[in-house]
Copies of this chain bind each other. A is one copy, B any other.
C-alpha cells in the first residue's frame, strides 16, 4: 500500500485517499496513541490537535512519553457507529518526539498554539509531536456491500 491517494476496495473496506485522511483527522479531538512499551503495543486515548500534517499531543510524564520519544509510534482515529455498523478509521505511522526549547521558539510557539488541553487531571506539561511517515484509512459503507449476500454476514 502506498500514499498515492488512489481509492480502491480491499478485503476490509474502501481505502480512503491520503488527503481525505488528513481532513478526517482534523474533524476529531480524541485519538489513540500506539507505543511499544513493557513488551506490548500499548494503546492510550489522548486528545490532540493538528499543526499542518503533524499531530500534536499534550501529555504527562510517564509511560507514554518515555516510550514514544524518538520511537516509531502510531496514531489511530476513528468514528464508528455501532448501530449503523459503518464508519471510518485512519491510522498514522510516524515518529514521535518531545517538544523542548531545543526545537526553537517558532516550533514551540506553533505547538502550543494548537491549543490541545488534556482531559485527565494531573501534570500535562509535555508536548509530543508525531511526524507522519505513512497514513492510511478505510471506510466501511454498508450500502457498498454486494446486495446479493445477507448483510448480516458483513455486520
Give A contacts to B, CB under 8 Å. 9-13, 28-30, 32, 34-36, 38-45, 47, 60, 62, 72-74, 76, 78, 80, 82, 85-87, 89, 91, 93, 117-123, 138, 140, 142, 144-146, 152-155
- Beta-carbon contact of A41 and B36 below 8 Å: yes
User: Copy number in this complex?
Assistant: 2
- Closest chain B residue to A43, Cβ basis: B76
- Closest chain B residue to A154, Cβ basis: B121
Across-interface contacts of A78 in B (CB, < 8 A): 32, 45
Across-interface contacts of A44 in B (CB, < 8 A): 89, 91
Whole-angstrom distance between the alpha carbons of A131 and B97 in the complex? 33
Complex partner residue of A153 from B10, B41, B72, B117, CB under 8 angstroms: B117
Across-interface contacts of A123 in B (CB, < 8 A): 11
Q: Can you identify 22 A-B contacts, CB atoms within 8 angstroms?
A: A9-B121, A11-B123, A12-B121, A13-B121, A13-B122, A30-B80, A34-B42, A34-B43, A38-B93, A39-B72, A40-B73, A41-B43, A41-B73, A45-B89, A86-B119, A87-B119, A119-B155, A120-B154, A121-B144, A121-B145, A121-B146, A121-B154
- Beta-carbon contact of B11 and A42 below 8 Å: no
Across-interface contacts of A153 in B (CB, < 8 A): 117
Across-interface contacts of A47 in B (CB, < 8 A): 82
- Beta-carbon contact of A60 and B91 below 8 Å: no
- Beta-carbon contact of B35 and A41 below 8 Å: yes
